[in-house]
Amino acid sequence: MKDNKYYEDLEKDGYYKTIDKRSKDYREYKQYLKYKEDFKNLQRNVEENKTIGLGDVIDKITKATGIKKVVDAITDDCGCDERKEKFNKIPLWKRRKVNCIDESDYPFVKEFVKKTRYSFEDRERFIPIYNHIFRVNVKNTKCDSCFRGYIKSIKEYLTIYEK
């Protein structure tokens, strides 16, 4: 698949309005649009679920159980926001946050996780993407089971956030 700039330039020039809808170019363009839409959904879901601090967890629990409504009805200001911020500073919970994948890397990763064999160049491109998403600093490895673990983590990430 070609890079995003290629499709954006042709789209800006109006190329896809005049092209035959049965052509390979148009099918690739439709796939690009699908990846673009999927990426926007993934990005939105990552941003919505980025709050993984202890304070955020407690806030979600109190909302789900109805405790928050009761407290809000009784008091004007219970100090929940300040407590939430303090709890979110606990380092144990911060390490679970993930970054959103870059829009230009999303089509590559979607195709990459479907493969069963990986070239060295593909691995070299995949590792920085993995490091960015999970905020780690792993190196490219020839160990197949380690690398498959990275791929499994990315598949889980995509499964969780593509909903």
| Interval 64-88: pLDDT, tens | 888 888 878 887 777 777 877 777 6
Are 35 and 2 in contact by the 8 Å Cβ rule? The answer is: no
pLDDT on residue 127: 94
**129, pLDDT greater than 90:** yes
Q: Flag whether the pTM goes above 0.85.
A: no
Give pLDDT, residue 163.
63
pLDDT, position 86: 74
115 or 81, greater pLDDT: 115
The answer to whether residues 123 and 78 touch, using CB atoms and an 8 Å cutoff, is no
Question: What six digits make up the tokens of 45?
Answer: 């879901």
| Domain segments of the chain as ranges | 1-50+98-163, 54-94
Least confident of 42-46, 98-102, 148-152: 42-46
Q: In the structure encoding, which two tokens stand for residue 108, read together? A: 């590559």
> Of 129, 138, 139, 136, nearest to 106 (Cα)?
129
Bigger pLDDT: 108 vs 43: 108
Distance (Å, whole) CA 58 – CA 69: 14
**Helix residue spans in the chain (DSSP H):** 4-12, 15-18, 24-48, 54-65, 67-74, 80-88, 91-94, 106-112, 120-134, 144-161
If DSSP states are collapsed to H, E and C, what string results for 67-99?
A: HHHHHHHHCCCCCHHHHHHHHHCCHHHHCCCCC
89 versus 142: which is more confidently predicted?
142
5-40 pLDDT, tens digit per residue, is: 888 888 888 888 888 888 888 888 888 888 888 888
Q: Is the pLDDT of residue 94 over 60?
A: no
Q: Are 131 and 137 in contact (CB under 8 A)?
A: yes
